[in-house]
Structure 1
Amino acid sequence: MRIPLDYYRILGLPLAASDEQLRQAYSDRIVQLPRREYSSSAITSRKQLLEEAIVVLSNPKERSSYDQLYLANVYDPEGSTTTSAVAVENRSFENNGTTEAKSLGIDISQDELVGALLILQELGEYELVVKLGRPYLVNKNGAVSGANVNSLTNEEYHERPERPDIILTVALACLELGREEWQQGHYENAALSLETGQDLLIKENLFPSVRSEIQADLCKLRPYRILELLALPQEKTAERRQGLELLQNVLEERGGIDGTGNDQSGLNIDDFLRFIQQLRYHLTAAEQQKIFEAESKRPSAVATYLAVYALIARGFAQRQPALIRQARQMLTRLGKRQDVHLEQSLCALLLGQTELATRSLELSQEYEALAFIREKSQDSPDMLPGLCLYGERWLHNEVFPHFRDLVNNQASLKEYFADEQVQAYLEGLPTEVQKSNETVTNRQFSFQTQTNTYPHRSNSTASYRHSSTTENGEVLETPIQVKSVHSNYSPPSFTTSTSVNATEQNSVAQVASAEPIASRTNHNLNGSAKANAPVQTNKRRRRKPAHSQPQRFPNSLEGKTRLVWMIFGSFAGIVVLWFLLTSSLGLLKNLFSPAPSLKGEQLSVQLNEPPIPIPDPNSKPLSPPGLLTETTAQEVVKSWLSSKSAALGVNHEVDSLEEILIGSTLSKWQAIVQEDKEENRYRKYTHTVKVESVKTTETDQNNATVDATVTELAEFYDNGQINQQKSYNEKVRVRYNLVRVDDSWRIRDMSVLNKTSES
């Protein structure tokens, strides 16, 4: 079989690599072993290919011939190779140095396949690993496919020792491909790659630890997949159904939206709630109602509240008041633990129950909403005009945007109440609509059951009774005549002494002609009723205490003035008494323990100015004059390692090097950073430093030599993926040659004295 590899890629070196770099690369690759799941035969196979590469490239004559063939294949316009997969002939080198280029690629035996796949995987050629490895597994017909193995029977191939290693390599390549797709935001493709590797291991019943690793990634990927699938157009029914099934599985494993179960996604409760909030934008109102109604039965307060929003949205948009009534019943359960009076008021408004809407609103603690409603109702005897305007804005801004099928809907109460389906339902509501289970909670009201009446399609006059309360607490009832609107159903109609402004007229309802009134009108949202149908009002009575006593100050201006002066006098007396006590205590203290007398000029300390200059936190620490101390040397080395971490880190902050390096050393490290940036690689460092010695002389205080032991843990990243082969944990003894420049120490050059690998 031929593999698209060349000796330089096997060693991970460019064509211009020196002999020293060749030896170092070979040493590094030999000691870097693959995962512990691989067999010793797989490791041996990999080692053989590394040895073949170093043998050819270490011989000057063979390397020269190889380079000619290499360049001919790379730059041959007729060739089929690219710089990312250069394939050259390697078995044709004779002792006399002549070459015979049979074709592109490396000829390998069956035993060397695992080693070649391992090297390709280390180079990040995951797709190529899958392409080359899968044919060596069983095909659809159960027969073994792949070059050099066609002569084997199925049973013979299954017994070959390299088969588990090939399966492992392909599965790991699928794992890495899935992670790459995940990073690129292709979540379904990522899941497909991960599931391919997992299915292969499950089918072969091999490597449970790798299967667990793939399964963990699949669980963490699920929220991303759900968002991607449900964001698809609604015509993609199969894909969106799959997303809903995944969501249901996650909810079951967590035990609900606010459950404490572990779905292996890594999302805590707060993160999952944010995920659900984000998910709502991709769900229709019907989908949300189905999901959250089911979840509310766990029970779940969060799911109940979200179900309420879905019911209100569908009820208003689809002209189904029955759904709004169902939402109000769910709010009644929520009202035992939280303030949902504003939502209850809006539901009552949409059900045409203005009295209940007003009373629910009075109990709400939503101060911003109440302020808006009062402002828009200041010319009205009640808050219904403002409540209607707020309701329209609430539906448009707070409800509809969370449903993908309603995001562009307009909220018009006028059109809602003019709908025949809405009229029919409201007319068919039970007459006793204010039963005990639908009354406003947390406040005592004494009122009789109100009868809701709705207009007929004819000219008629509805009779209402307006209730007002006098100063002595008596309730007066005054009949009010309101003309009903004929032909079409009227939107909410309010009786006011002055007209609402133009904006409110357009957004709220038409104002019917009526006699002016001075207090709240107890009427129905429809603005008309059956003829001569009186509505009984709630009469509030003052309760007298069992043992009433005459008040000390009557409820008059004179009594209130006397009370204010008494409070002011008491407060003034307390202040004077406190001043006298503190003065007396201070005098006694100075008498028995006088304060020390300070001599000479005193230090002037002000709160707005520091007693000594405060240095700029961004300024470089200045080195003290004289010989370099061990403490300063420690700071210099730490400063260098910090600059190194920033320069070679993900942001490649190359400017930080100029603060600590000079001369050729600075140029060298700037070139390294630039190369890493161009190759899209970076490192993450963790350092510990111990200064072993500091050498300097009295005659030359501006130069010093520092020996330090540095433990360096480096994580190497290629294209955003960690490269375990290049990562390391080493302890090195380094010699730094320092020079003082502008009152600060800089590193002129450095050299490694010895190096050991940490376990």
Structure 2
Amino acid sequence: MRIPLDYYRILGLPLAASNEQLRQAYSDRIVQLPRREYSQSAISSRKQLIEEAYVVLSNPKERSSYDQLYLAHAYDPDGKARVALGDHAQSNHGDPDTQNLSIEISPQELVGALLILQELGEYELVLKLGHNYLANQNGAAVANIGNNLVNEEFLESTESPDIVLTVALACLELGREQWQQGNYENAAVSLETGQEMLARGGVFASVQAEMQADLYKLRPYRILELLALPLEKTAERRQGLELLQSILSDRGGIDGNGSDASGLNIDDFLRFIQQLRNHLTVAEQHKLFEAESKRPSAVATYLAVYALIARGFTQRQPALIRQAKQMLIHLGKRQDVHLEQSLCALLLGQTEEATRVLELSQEYEALVFIREKSQDSPDLLPGLCLYTEQWLQHEVFPHFRDLTRQQASLKDYFANQQVQAYLEGLPTDAETTHEWAVINRQSFSQPQTNHLRQRSHPSGVAQQVHHSRTSDPNLSETINYKKPEYANTSLNIPSTASARPEIPMTPLSTAERTTKATNPNLNGSARTSPPRQVKKRRRRKVSQPTPSGQRRTFANTLEGKTRLVWTVFASLVGILVFWLLVSTTFGWLKNLFYPAPSLQGKQLFVQLNEPPINIPDSNSKLQSPEGTLSEETAKEVIETWLSTKAAALGVNHEVDGLQDILTGSALSQWRLIAQQERAANRYRQYNHTVKVEYINKAEIYPDRAVVVATVKELTQFYENSQLKKSSDETLRVRYDFIRQQGVWRIQNMAVVY
């Protein structure tokens, strides 16, 4: 049979290669060996083809003839280039057959030719040739790559297992190539084809495991690709949802600690979920996250709340919003969700409860906006309505693929007859306030009955929304809404995903508290001062004259109490003086009979004008006793590390400086590298530039941070004071920061892509 190969491709050489290059290429190709799963016959077959190519090209006469054939077939008659292929000599490596553009091989050499084609990256050609061979086995076995049928009797032949392995490895490499190109489903099909071929034959378990590992890592990418398809592709999108369920089952939920073999940690998986939301409809997210919230999962609960609010508002189903409100009650035991609770109460027409719950929120920026838009109103309802519309429009709807163009209108929502009918049957503000106080354990003021206004009618809320719009028709502010820790991220990890820190709400001014005390719309009860009659009775009682006998009795009692106080004080002073005398005498006697041993050896030399240990410069940004890590500080830490590395690996090998910037595994690793370089009489010279890309700060661990930076590193390598080589690299490096004794240090580092 003939194989589309030529001798130059077999050796990996150009046409103009010299004899020295020819010898070096032959030596390299012979030394290189395929995977250990191949049999000795496969390795020998490959070696035979390489030696054959070297024999022809190393002979000047045969090479000249071969080059003429190569050039003659290098171009078509119209001048277009094409692949030049030679023909294997029929005997004694004679002149190639000029009528053919391929080399002729025996069936025993097929596995060697397929190995060489695979090494050249011709995976599709390997699949084609291997398929033809496996399909033409005259009844000894049947193998079909599409159906992955491999007969055990066929695998007992000498060369067949090697051919099956080569075809399967071609599927593996083709799948990885398609993965890099972004064709994730095609990559999965290639990997599954090769895996199933080996599994049916029960051979090469290690290769099957390698393919399975790639399939696990490929699952998140496949899910994104499948769910991003148009909604009409129901079968493909259903497959994506099934893959997502399998990952969630393996992990034990969105924030579970199980392993799905995808290589994503918890933070990376949360970013994946946030990116995934943009490809799901509101109904799909509702079903998914509501089921996940029952594991239980705080993350899934929060995302289910968003889905319930979005679906309830757009489909005019307040019952879903009420369900979201109930879920927020349980979620509020762990985090501040008062703002979301207030918005749900507003959408349910419970305006007084909405303003009461809003007071407990620590979302400073949102409160500033709401108060600013409610300046001309006796309560916060106008600003809250405007904020709710913008929150739905800019924070909720964009995360659902079927709501991206949805408009948020509270007026239309409350004008809906179905909404009004449902809200009429809801509990009053008094009942809901008691519910929040008991379940969520929040300190609401208990309203008085005579000051309590019943729940507003939905049409009244709609009128208030209309009034808010007309009072500020040119509203264009954008709000920094509160986002959960798992928001604004993508699967192209790592990226900045930490939520903004929650800022405590500033206390209400005196004027605001006075307004609240006189306006039942804010808190449902008036905060009144003590009754005037009580004050008058107290003043009359104080100013009433006291009889002389009573004054004397009071004076005698006061004199007796004063004498008692002085007596107790004098006793305490006496006890203190006695204790000092006894302890001094005991210490003198102890030193007299049991003298303390004198210090031996060199004593510590301490000066008053210098500290005994090095104290970090107070102006250095590396010293940060409190607060989060800023971008400027992160850059200074990285630049300090790079200059310390240059000194440790430089001419003088200043290894001791590493402990001032590194800690943990990074310190031990680079200390070992520096010591090895010094022992080998090698050193380096560096030139660095740094650009911080982002900082990932976890609120629950303020002394830890992850920094990703782009480092351009120009390095010159010296050995025995002679320049050996230079390199110029631009690396994307992830640094794990930790704050120890108020100073930021690098605990670990790794190059990321």
* Shared fold, TM over 0.5: yes
Counterpart position of 1:26: 26
Equivalents in 2 of 1:79, 1:125: separation in Å? 25
1:291-690 equivalent positions in 2, closer than 5 A: 291-430=288-427, 433-434=431-432, 436-439=434-437, 441-447=441-447, 489=459, 491-494=461-464, 502-504=470-472, 522=520, 538=525, 638=684, 690=719
Deviation, 1:125, is 0.9
C-alpha distance after superposition, 1:23-58 (max 9, x if no partner): 111111001111111110000000100111111111
Equivalents in 2 of 1:154, 1:374: separation in Å? 77
> Residues 253 and 448 of structure 1: is their aligned pair in 2 closer, same or farther, counting only changes over 3 Å?
farther
Q: Are 1:433 and 1:452, in contact at CA under 8 Å, matched by a contact in 2?
A: no
Q: Which amino acid aligns with 1:215?
A: Q
Counterpart position of 2:7: 7
Where 2:462 maps in the other structure, the secondary structure is: coil
Q: Which amino acid aligns with 1:280?
A: R
Q: Are 1:136 and 1:145, in contact at CA under 8 Å, matched by a contact in 2?
A: no
2:161 is matched with which residue: 164, 179, 197? 164
> Residues 448 and 493 of structure 1: is their aligned pair in 2 closer, same or farther, counting only changes over 3 Å?
farther
Q: Are 2:453 and 2:524, in contact at CA under 8 Å, matched by a contact in 1?
A: no
C-alpha distance after superposition, 1:97-134 (max 9, x if no partner): 55532422111111101100111111111111111112
Counterpart position of 2:588: none
Deviation, 1:492, is 3.1
C-alpha distance after superposition, 1:245-265 (max 9, x if no partner): 000000000000000000000
Equivalents in 1 of 2:333, 2:289: separation in Å? 20
Deviation, 1:71, is 1.4
Equivalents in 2 of 1:399, 1:138: separation in Å? 56
2:131 is matched with which residue: 115, 130, 134? 134
Q: Which runs of 5+ in 2 are unaligned?
A: 144-149, 477-513, 543-605, 610-618, 621-641, 652-676, 689-709, 730-753
Q: Which amino acid aligns with 2:462?
A: P
1:34-45 equivalent positions in 2, closer than 5 A: 34-45=34-45
Q: Are 1:418 and 1:490, in contact at CA under 8 Å, matched by a contact in 2?
A: no
Deviation, 1:437, is 3.0
Counterpart position of 1:700: none
Q: Which runs of 5+ in 1 are unaligned?
A: 147-152, 457-488, 509-516, 525-535, 555-592, 597-606, 609-615, 625-630, 643-650, 661-686, 695-705, 716-759
> Residues 305 and 402 of structure 1: is their aligned pair in 2 closer, same or farther, counting only changes over 3 Å?
same
> Residues 18 and 453 of structure 1: is their aligned pair in 2 closer, same or farther, counting only changes over 3 Å?
closer
Equivalents in 1 of 2:182, 2:408: separation in Å? 36
> Residues 319 and 448 of structure 1: is their aligned pair in 2 closer, same or farther, counting only changes over 3 Å?
farther
Counterpart position of 2:118: 121
Q: Which amino acid aligns with 2:89?
A: R
Counterpart position of 1:56: 56
Where 2:340 maps in the other structure, the secondary structure is: helix
Q: Are 1:198 and 1:215, in contact at CA under 8 Å, matched by a contact in 2?
A: yes
Q: In the alignment, is residue 219 of structure 1 matched against residue 211 of structure 2? A: no
Where 2:111 maps in the other structure, the secondary structure is: helix
Deviation, 1:145, is 7.7
Equivalents in 1 of 2:153, 2:347: separation in Å? 76
1:64-213 equivalent positions in 2, closer than 5 A: 64-77=64-77, 82-83=82-83, 86-92=84-90, 98-138=95-135, 157-213=154-210
Q: Are 1:433 and 1:451, in contact at CA under 8 Å, matched by a contact in 2?
A: no
Q: Are 1:389 and 1:504, in contact at CA under 8 Å, matched by a contact in 2?
A: no
Q: Are 1:313 and 1:399, in contact at CA under 8 Å, matched by a contact in 2?
A: yes
C-alpha distance after superposition, 1:548-597 (max 9, x if no partner): 9x99xx9xxxxxxxxxxxxxxxxxxxxxxxxxxxxxxxxxxxxxx9999x
Deviation, 1:336, is 1.2
Deviation, 1:135, is 2.2
Deviation, 1:346, is 0.5
Q: Which amino acid aligns with 1:218?
A: L
Equivalents in 1 of 2:151, 2:198: separation in Å? 18
> Residues 330 and 141 of structure 1: is their aligned pair in 2 closer, same or farther, counting only changes over 3 Å?
farther
Q: Are 1:427 and 1:453, in contact at CA under 8 Å, matched by a contact in 2?
A: no
C-alpha distance after superposition, 1:376-416 (max 9, x if no partner): 11111111111101111111111111111111111111111
Deviation, 1:421, is 1.2
Q: Which amino acid aligns with 1:492?
A: A
> Residues 27 and 428 of structure 1: is their aligned pair in 2 closer, same or farther, counting only changes over 3 Å?
same
Equivalents in 2 of 1:323, 1:495: separation in Å? 22
Deviation, 1:441, is 3.8
Counterpart position of 2:572: none
Give the structure with higher Rg (CA). Answer: 1
Give the CA RMSD over aligned residues.
4.4
C-alpha distance after superposition, 1:338-386 (max 9, x if no partner): 1111111110000000111111001111111111111111111111111
Q: Are 1:73 and 1:79, in contact at CA under 8 Å, matched by a contact in 2?
A: no
Counterpart position of 1:483: none
Number of residue equivalences: 528
C-alpha distance after superposition, 1:162-204 (max 9, x if no partner): 1111111111111111111111111111111111111111111
Where 2:73 maps in the other structure, the secondary structure is: helix
Q: Are 1:342 and 1:364, in contact at CA under 8 Å, matched by a contact in 2?
A: yes
Equivalents in 2 of 1:133, 1:632: separation in Å? 53
> Residues 140 and 66 of structure 1: is their aligned pair in 2 closer, same or farther, counting only changes over 3 Å?
closer
Q: Are 2:254 and 2:299, in contact at CA under 8 Å, matched by a contact in 1?
A: yes
Q: In the alignment, is residue 281 of structure 1 matched against residue 278 of structure 2? A: yes
Deviation, 1:453, is 6.2
Deviation, 1:94, is 5.7
> Residues 129 and 502 of structure 1: is their aligned pair in 2 closer, same or farther, counting only changes over 3 Å?
same
TM-score by length of 1: 0.62
Where 1:248 maps in the other structure, the secondary structure is: helix
Q: Are 1:88 and 1:103, in contact at CA under 8 Å, matched by a contact in 2?
A: yes
Q: In the alignment, is residue 229 of structure 1 matched against residue 226 of structure 2? A: yes
Q: Which amino acid aligns with 2:36?
A: R
Equivalents in 1 of 2:323, 2:60: separation in Å? 87
Structure 1 or 2: larger helix share? 2
Counterpart position of 2:47: 47
Q: Which amino acid aligns with 1:130?
A: L
Where 1:434 maps in the other structure, the secondary structure is: helix
Deviation, 1:140, is 12
Q: Which amino acid aligns with 1:240?
A: R
Q: Which amino acid aligns with 2:315?
A: Q
> Residues 506 and 155 of structure 1: is their aligned pair in 2 closer, same or farther, counting only changes over 3 Å?
closer
Equivalents in 2 of 1:518, 1:20: separation in Å? 95
Deviation, 1:213, is 0.8
Q: Are 1:392 and 1:507, in contact at CA under 8 Å, matched by a contact in 2?
A: no
Q: Which amino acid aligns with 2:87?
A: E
Q: Are 2:331 and 2:337, in contact at CA under 8 Å, matched by a contact in 1?
A: yes
> Residues 288 and 173 of structure 1: is their aligned pair in 2 closer, same or farther, counting only changes over 3 Å?
same
Q: Which amino acid aligns with 1:353?
A: Q
Deviation, 1:72, is 1.5
Where 1:492 maps in the other structure, the secondary structure is: helix
Equivalents in 2 of 1:110, 1:594: separation in Å? 88
Q: Are 1:417 and 1:491, in contact at CA under 8 Å, matched by a contact in 2?
A: yes
> Residues 142 and 269 of structure 1: is their aligned pair in 2 closer, same or farther, counting only changes over 3 Å?
farther
Deviation, 1:447, is 3.2
Where 1:405 maps in the other structure, the secondary structure is: coil
Q: Are 1:5 and 1:105, in contact at CA under 8 Å, matched by a contact in 2?
A: yes
Equivalents in 2 of 1:640, 1:293: separation in Å? 54
TM-score by length of 2: 0.63
> Residues 632 and 229 of structure 1: is their aligned pair in 2 closer, same or farther, counting only changes over 3 Å?
closer
Equivalents in 2 of 1:335, 1:191: separation in Å? 42
